[in-house]
A and B are shown apart, each in its own frame.
Chain A
């Protein structure tokens, strides 16, 4: 019920390409779905987040697509850059607590 499953575990994309990372959840009480970016030796930093009342949210090159019926959401990075090379985590929480349940992470490498 509390699990968030993330795929793929690792991803290699050419510069300028589209990076796509997927997550699936089980707990229908989740109502907040953030994506975090983490560089080696640093703490995770919020990239973009969505609530289930919308199906898509875009901020610059980053887009979240949300499918409530399938209980899935994904991160799309357009025009991927070498500086985007990092580990990405999806997460979910319920409205009455900030307790984040994280996926296992995706290591993205963008080749120049």
Chain B
């Protein structure tokens, strides 16, 4: 079956602009996670959803970052007033349920802020 998909695969934007990154999880997976991976580093947790609600958003770096999952499936990560330090690969993962189920990662969106 289809895995986790993320669009776009690459996004180049200018400092100060707004961007949206989309994640399509595996069908039937109730838990969805966003991570950010900087070059040469491990993924860093941003937020996770159980169904439609954000169960833990403790990893969002500041109020410029926001994520939604209105129907409990597709999720969008939104970044306002982008800064050069936001440049990274944004990874989405889903799992059947929360807790210690296997998380299946998408290929990521590479965001470059000029």
Contacts and interface: CB of A to CB of B under 8 A. Distances in A.
Interface of A: 6, 31-32, 34, 36, 41-46, 49, 51, 89, 91, 93, 95-105
Q: Is the interface of A mostly helix, strand, loop or mixed?
A: loop
Select the residue from B41, B58, B95 with max chain A CB neighbours within 10 A: B41
A47 to B, nearest CB: 11
A97 B104 CA distance: 15
The main secondary structure of chain B at its interface with chain A is: loop
B36 to A, nearest CB: 11
A42 B56 contact: no
Given A43-B106, A100-B103, A105 B42 contact: yes
Interface string B77-112: 000000000000001010100111111111110000
User: Chain B, interface size: which category?
Assistant: 20 to 34
B42 A98 contact: no
Given A45-B105, A97-B55, 18 more contacts: A41-B107, A43-B105, A43-B106, A43-B107, A43-B108, A44-B91, A44-B105, A46-B103, A49-B102, A89-B42, A91-B42, A98-B31, A98-B99, A99-B58, A100-B45, A102-B43, A103-B42, A104-B41
B15 to A, nearest CB: 25
18 contacts: A32-B100, A34-B102, A36-B105, A42-B107, A43-B105, A44-B105, A89-B42, A95-B100, A98-B48, A99-B45, A100-B35, A100-B43, A102-B42, A102-B43, A102-B44, A103-B42, A104-B42, A105-B41
A21 B108 CA distance: 25
A96 B99 CA distance: 5
Greatest chain A CB density within 10 A among B93, B99, B103, B108 is at B103
